[in-house]
A and B are shown apart, each in its own frame.
Chain A
Amino acid sequence: MVFLALLDGTVTAFVLALIALGLSLVFGVMRIVNVAHGEFFMLGAVLSWFAYHWTGDALWGFILALLVAPVIVGVIAVLSERYILRKVHYNPESTIVATIGILYVIQQLTLMLFGPEARPVEAPIYFRVVFPWFGYSGYKLLVAAMSGLCLCGVWILMKRSKLGLYMRATQQDHEIATTFGVPTKKIYASVFALGGGLAALAGVLVVPIRQADHLMGLEPLLLSFIVVIIGGLGSLRGTIIAAFLIGISDGIISVFYEPTLAKMLATLFVVMILIIKPGGLFGESPQ
């Protein structure tokens, strides 16, 4: 029982880390909270359905979605960065209001084009892993593995590439970075696109385990808020550690407590962390 809770929690943690990573990057580099982040995730899932529907084949649809969805969402992210966020000068509070607006726009446009119902997307592979007294979805394990790969990818990008260097420089001090010739405007756009693309990628990976619907963005948004806060606003390592902490403890807690109570306690816990330690558990600096 505890083993299964751990297993399920680990899968949740991987997915959660991937979703929260984008939010964390955006917050870290740009110092803004993107409330529309959950909608980027939702778009990934919905685009995945379109890919599946269009190709008519689970595997090819999945591959197509994997390649195309992050790009499309990235473009949408860049456009909203260029025409909305830049216009409000990345003022933290205005950005929140603006991204709430973007949230509604994306959600309602999806409702128009996609319809209100939840639609299933077939998994590219389907097998059941059998343990002595219960079974588990093989695809879920695959999702965890692929999320892990993506996380590594982002990590390498941040530490080894020029873009990553620029991003880290901008994160530390935006003005000094500008003086040293870092094209901060372009960096902002790429970070926002990268954040959106990661969320979309998570959406594509997750959708075969659940279904695509236009309201699915809210829950991952709240969860990744929790993760990002506990991990320390803007700290990548913290985000990943926190995702595992939350994913696994959520898996275990909800086995023993009633789910609503578990959620309540988790939310309250986050609030307390923010109040006592505004920088988060692994935060580099309180802002």
Chain B
Amino acid sequence: MKIHTEAGERHVLAVTVDNEAGILAKITGLFSARGYNIESLTVADISADHALSRITIVTSGPPAVIDQIIAQLDRLVPVHSVTDLADGGAHVEREIALVKVAGSGDKRIEALRMADVFRAKVVDTTLSSFIFEITGTSDKVDRFIALMRECGLVEVGRTGVVAIARGSEAV
């Protein structure tokens, strides 16, 4: 017998929650307990009184599973709202990566040239290394990192995706 899995589509969820102890464990535990995917997850406090946090979750699944994820998140007591950013039309997604590249000679020059093409900033340098800061969609960050592998990539740190809907309305 083989175990079958269904193909899914990528969704970005914005979840507003009470900024309380254990909330992240509650959210991530829900995903692991019910077998949902987390491709990336970011969380930070977003209100002036530090009472609310916004969690941005990139997940994937068939439409029925995405609906379930939203309903399951929404019924958690500390969850205020769940928005599927793909649902509300266009949205903006950004991710930051810090990319450390070590080397000398042509590879070093090539790394700097490509960083310029990608509009990555140099935030630290030594005679034998750069740290680039790159901001963009996950795809763009992926492509930049792939190129840097050829130019002496030694370390990467990524934030995961934050996203917000276009237009004047709040979620």
The answer to whether A and B interact is no
| Chain A residues engaging chain B, CB cutoff 8 angstroms | none
Mark B residues whose CB is within 8 Å of A: none
